[in-house]
C-alpha cells in the first residue's frame, strides 16, 4: 500500500478527525446485534490515544436520507464503544455547528468525542464542499479508517481531504494490503469462489478474477444463469435471461485463459422458497419443473474441496445458497469449514465482505480466516479493480 498511515504522522497534542465505519446492525430495541465493525476500529483508536491525540469520531448509521431519525442516532454505538475501548466517550448532538465546534475545541489529549450521524445532513452524501469544510475545521489531522465507505466520494471520506490532508488507519491499511496482495502478487494457485444472487452484480469482478485466477468456483443464485446458459434444465429456478450471453462469454474467457471455471455438478432443490420446503439432491442438469435450486449439493462440495486443496490463495465473495435457511446453508457452511482448514495449513484466505463475511461471522469462524473484510460494496469494487475515492484522497507515501 503506497498511502501514508497513522505511523507516518505525529499526533501528540493534536485533535484527530477519524472517519470510522460504525454502521452496525441494530434490532427493534436499538441493541447492536453485531459489533464487528466497532471492534475493527479499536487498534487505530487505541494507537492514537496512546500517542497523545484527542479523537473526534464521525460515522453514519443506516439511511436517514438527510433527515434526523431518532432510531438512527449513534447513542447505542457510543455506549458499546465505551465498553470495548474501556475509555470515556463523549457524544455530540450533531456533526457540525457551533456547539459541536465548542466541544471539539475543548478536547484534551486522551479524550474522545463521537459526532452524531453524518447522514442526518443530506450534504454528506452529496459531498458538499461547505459541509466538508465544517467537518474538517473540527480537527488538526484527518484519518480514514472506514474501508466500508471508501468506495463513496462523500464529504467525510473525500471532501474533508481538500482542507485536511488525510492518512489511513490500521483497518484501512489492513484491508488494502490483504485485498491488494491477493490480486496483485498472489501465491498460486489462486482460487476465487464467487456466489450471490445475480450475475449482473458480479460481471466486473468475474471478468477481473478470471484474468487473475487459476480456478473460479461458482455457486449461489448466479450459478443458475450459468447452468441455463450451458443448456441445463433448471426447473423453476430464478435466473437472468438477459445475461445468458454474458454468462457464455465469461465461461469462454476462462477457457481461453486456461482457467478452470467450475459450476456445481449437483444441487439442493426445493418445491418452494421456504425454510421448511420439501427438498432433495439432483444433478444440476436435471432439475424437474416446479422445483428450484437453493444450494449446491454434496458432490459439488467435494469437487470444490479438491480444487481448494491445491490453492495457496483463496478469495471468496458471496454465499453459495440461501444461507438464511439452515437446510440450504450447507454449501456455505461447508466452504467455511474448508477455508478454516486451509487457513490452518498456511493458505491465505480472504473473505471479500458482504454476505459471505456475514456468514463467516455468524458461524464464529472469522478468527479462523486470514482476513475477513469489513467492506461490502467497497470490497467488491476493489476486487473489480476500481479506484476507491476514499483511498485515492489519502496522502501518498514519499
Catalytic residue among 126, 133, 198, 208: 198
169 has catalytic annotation: no
Query: Can you tell me the distance from the alpha carbon of 95 to that of 135, in angstroms, rounded to the nearest whole number?
Result: 7
Across the strands, what pairs with 158? none
What does the DSSP 8-state code read for residue 388? P
Query: Can you tell me the distance from the alpha carbon of 210 to that of 48, in angstroms, rounded to the nearest whole number?
Result: 40
How many other CB atoms are found less than 10 A from the CB of residue 68? 13
126 has catalytic annotation: no
Closest CA to 58 of 167, 146, 174, 169: 146
Catalytic residue among 66, 110, 377, 385: 377
For 113, the 3-state DSSP assignment is strand
What does the DSSP 8-state code read for residue 23? -
Closest CA to 319 of 285, 358, 347, 283: 358
What does the DSSP 8-state code read for residue 158? T
Catalytic residue among 354, 375, 376, 390: 354
Closest CA to 262 of 331, 317, 191, 198: 191
202 has catalytic annotation: no
Whether 150 contacts 388, CB under 8 Å: yes
Burial of 62 (0-12, 13-18, 19+ CB in 10 A): middle
Query: Can you tell me the distance from the alpha carbon of 58 to that of 51, in angstroms, rounded to the nearest whole number?
Result: 20
Half-sphere exposure of 86 (CA within 13 A, CB side): 3
Query: Can you tell me the distance from the alpha carbon of 278 to that of 270, in angstroms, rounded to the nearest whole number?
Result: 6
For 222, the 3-state DSSP assignment is helix
Catalytic residue among 4, 15, 37, 243: 37
Closest CA to 263 of 245, 282, 284: 284
377 has catalytic annotation: yes
Q: What DSSP element (H or E) covers 41?
A: helix 36-50
**What are the residue numbers of the active site?**
37, 198, 354, 377
Amino acid at each position: 500500500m503506497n498511502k501514508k498511515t497513522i505511523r507516518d504522522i505525529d499526533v501528540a497534542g493534536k485533535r484527530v478527525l477519524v472517519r470510522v465505519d460504525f454502521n452496525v446492525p441494530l434490532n427493534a430495541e436499538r441493541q447492536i446485534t453485531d459489533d464487528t465493525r466497532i471492534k475493527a476500529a479499536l487498534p487505530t483508536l487505541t494507537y492514537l490515544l496512546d500517542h497523545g491525540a484527542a479523537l473526534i469520531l464521525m460515522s453514519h448509521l443506516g439511511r436517514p436520507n438527510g433527515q434526523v431519525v431518532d432510531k438512527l442516532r449513534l447513542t447505542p454505538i457510543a455506549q458499546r464503544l465505551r465498553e470495548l475501548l474501556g475509555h470515556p466517550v463523549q457524544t455530540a448532538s450533531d456533526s457540525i455547528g457551533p456547539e459541536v465546534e465548542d466541544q471539539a475545541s475543548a478536547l484534551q489529549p486522551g479524550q474522545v468525542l463521537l459526532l452524531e450521524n453524518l447522514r442526518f445532513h443530506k450534504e454528506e452524501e452529496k459531498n458538499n464542499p461547505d459541509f466538508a469544510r465544517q467537518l474538517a475545521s473540527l480537527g488538526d489531522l484527518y484519518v480514514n479508517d472506514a474501508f466500508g465507505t471508501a468506495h463513496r466520494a462523500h464529504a467525510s471520506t473525500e471532501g474533508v481531504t481538500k482542507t485536511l490532508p488525510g492518512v489511513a488507519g490500521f483497518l484501512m491499511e489492513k484491508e488494502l494490503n490483504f485485498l491488494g496482495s491477493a490480486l496483485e502478487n498472489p501465491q498460486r494457485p489462486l482460487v476465487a469462489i464467487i456466489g450471490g444472487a445475480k450475475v449482473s452484480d458480479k460481471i466486473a469482478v468475474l471478468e477481473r478474477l478470471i484474468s487473475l485466477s487459476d480456478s473460479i468456483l461458482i455457486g449461489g443464485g448466479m450459478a443458475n444463469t450459468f447452468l441455463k446458459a450451458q443448456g441445463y434444465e433448471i426447473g423453476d429456478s430464478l435466473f437472468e435471461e438477459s445475461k445468458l450471453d454474458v454468462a457464455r462469454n465469461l465461461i469462454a474467457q476462462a477457457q481461453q485463459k486456461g482457467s478452470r471455471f467450475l459450476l456445481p455438478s449437483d444441487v439442493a432443490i426445493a418445491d418452494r422458497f421456504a425454510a421448511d420446503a420439501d427438498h432433495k439432491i439432483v444433478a444440476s442438469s436435471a432439475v424437474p419443473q416446479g422445483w428450484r435450486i437453493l444450494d449446491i449439493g454434496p458432490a459439488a462440495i467435494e469437487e470444490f474441496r479438491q480444487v481448494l486443496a491445491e490453492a495457496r490463495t483463496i478469495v471468496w465473495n458471496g454465499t453459495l445458497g440461501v444461507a438464511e435457511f439452515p437446510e440450504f446453508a450447507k454449501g456455505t457452511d461447508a466452504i467455511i469449514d474448508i477455508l478454516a482448514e486451509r487457513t490452518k495449513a498456511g493458505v491465505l484466505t480472504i473473505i471479500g465482505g458482504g454476505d459471505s463475511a456475514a456468514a463467516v461471522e455468524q458461524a464464529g469462524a472469522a478468527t479462523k480466516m486470514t482476513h475477513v473484510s469489513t467492506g461490502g460494496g467497497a470490497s467488491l469494487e476493489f476486487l473489480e479493480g476500481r479506484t476507491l475515492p476514499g483511498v485515492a484522497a489519502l496522502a501518498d507515501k514519499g
